[in-house]
Amino acid sequence: MDRIRQLIGVLTLLAAVGLGIWFFRLISDDDQSGLFEVRLEFRDVRGLKSGADVRYRGVRVGSVSEVAIGLDGEKGVVAILLEPDGSRLARQSSRFWVVVPRFGGLTGGATGLDTLVRDAYVAYLTTDPDSPPLPAGSLLPGLERPPLDRATTELDPVQRGDLLMTLLASNNNGIETGAAVQFRGMTVGEIRAVELAAGGTHVELLLRIRDRYRHTVTDKSDFWIARPRVSGALLRGISVDDVGALLTPFIGYHTEPGRGVPVPDGYRVVASNERPNTSNDEVPDAAREQVASAAPGIGGRGLRIVEIVYECAEDDWLSPDDEEQRRGSGLLFADPQGRTVVLTVRSLCDGSSFLGDTFGGPEIKSEAIRVVVAGVGVFRAGRTWIDPAGGDLALLVVEDAPPDLAMTPPADFEFDADPSLAVDFATAATEHTNVLGAALPSLESARGGVLVRDGRALGLIGRDADDETRPARIALSALPAELRPKP
């Protein structure tokens, strides 16, 4: 009887242990369901710990599940588990490295500074998103240092109107792709490429200056590679210029106000060996005076007509993506909410209204709207209203517009007027109104143009409802009262 009891006890214990193991594995499988494992080899894991983050472009997409020594004892093996978003980005072109603080000296710059206050983590970047996906459980060699060309894939795309120029230097002084270009301490662009000249005689740096700042570069501008420079004497005092370059070198330039003329794309200039002495620069007296309103509207009237540049790409799976660009005009004013808006035609600023697709409505892959205000600048914009009845009318809201921007006065709109009564028209390309002939001007030359009578806007030049290639008079009455300027 005792043996039977002992046997029952042993069997019960074994069953409990087996059940516990099964339950533990069940929980472990649930915790890792949907996760994708990749194993990485490093000569030095640099203090990486289990549970550390795995990031793609700074976003957490997984974690480190294990850190161990390889079978040969010469490398560390790091197992990472990627979440679905991270596994989708893991390709055969992906490169992985451990992020820790790295200081490259006075000219090499510093990276990984965020890990000064947090643990090291794994980062990766996929240079070719169309490369084959990684198989689960892949064993890959990790990079011992961050890839030097990672900045190239992270740069913002060049926009229309940006200045692209080349800076020539005797050596690069540790400058790298992605480094900032600064004017008066403000970042106005970046370095797009660093290359050795064909004959090996010098270094060529490709610079991008954003459109809104390109007027600050003239043929008299001085450029230099910023690095810390100590000046002065012990008794008279010591000053350090470009101290910010201790961590990350950058390109600086200075332009004397009123000197030189703006430069075209492709401009080439030699970098100075030393930063020019600009300590005597002061705010000009003219800038201290109260700024008057911007230039008056068309023909001295109050109409503020601006240029609109629209670009989009239609996703087409049967052929290369179709790209479209349109230019036209619109009326600038302030709506009742105080927003800077532009009234224009929809056929100028909405690709879905004029791009066709054999299998249905077009799929717009990307689009950009910019409003060019003469003498002021170029601003991004977005649609805030389109005519729900299908008419060719739309309203754009302008981003980051200056608060003192001159607007079209409310009294210069006739929203309920018949546009056929207009006798003149005006566009952003003309300085004065033009007399309307028997036929409207072509859409290519006057899309969004303003139909005018006695200096007031009665309508816009848009497309005909039955023939999109034919111009038509578009009434303003469809714009809701709550979006019209307050009288």
Which of 129, 147, 165 lies at the terminal end of a domain, its last residue?
147
Query: What's the pLDDT score for residue 305?
Result: 93
CATH number (domain holding residue 446): 2.40.10.10
pLDDT, tens digit (0-9, with 9 covering 90-100), for 263-275: 888 899 999 877 7
Q: Which of 80, 81, 75 is nearest to 42 (CA)?
A: 75
Q: 465 and 354 in one domain?
A: yes
Q: 115 and 221 in one domain?
A: no
Distance between CA atoms of 209 and 299, rounded to whole angstroms?
Answer: 33
Domain membership of residue 70 (yes or no) is: yes
Q: Which residues of the chain have pLDDT under 70?
A: 1-3, 5-7, 9-10, 20-34, 101-118, 148-154, 228-247, 258, 278-301, 316-321, 356-361, 375, 431
Which of 113, 147, 181 lies at the terminal end of a domain, its last residue?
147
Distance between CA atoms of 425 and 434, rounded to whole angstroms?
Answer: 5
- Backbone φ and ψ of 32, nearest 5°: -105, 10
Q: 321 and 402 in one domain?
A: yes
Q: 213 and 86 in one domain?
A: no
Domain membership of residue 169 (yes or no) is: yes
Distance between CA atoms of 155 and 438, rounded to whole angstroms?
Answer: 51
Domain membership of residue 4 (yes or no) is: no
Q: 308 and 204 in one domain?
A: no
Owning domain of residue 45 = 36-147
Which of 147, 162, 184 lies at the terminal end of a domain, its last residue?
147
Q: 354 and 261 in one domain?
A: no
Q: Which of 58, 76, 56, 75 is nearest to 66 (CA)?
A: 76
Domain membership of residue 395 (yes or no) is: yes
Q: How many domains does the chain have?
A: 3
Question: How big is the chain, counted in residues?
Answer: 487
Domain membership of residue 29 (yes or no) is: no
- Which residues are CB-neighbours of 12 under 8 A, at least 6 positions away? none
- Backbone φ and ψ of 89, nearest 5°: -90, -5
Q: 479 and 337 in one domain?
A: yes
Cα–Cα distances (Å) from 201 to 165, 167, 170, 486, in that order, read 19, 14, 7, 64
Q: 138 and 158 in one domain?
A: no
Q: 113 and 60 in one domain?
A: yes
Q: 177 and 85 in one domain?
A: no
pTM here is 0.43
- Backbone φ and ψ of 483, nearest 5°: -105, -5
Q: 178 and 127 in one domain?
A: no
Domain membership of residue 474 (yes or no) is: yes
C-beta neighbour count of 431 within 10 angstroms: 10
Domain membership of residue 72 (yes or no) is: yes
Distance between CA atoms of 295 and 204, rounded to whole angstroms?
Answer: 41
Q: 309 and 207 in one domain?
A: no
Query: What's the pLDDT score for residue 121?
Result: 92
Domain membership of residue 20 (yes or no) is: no
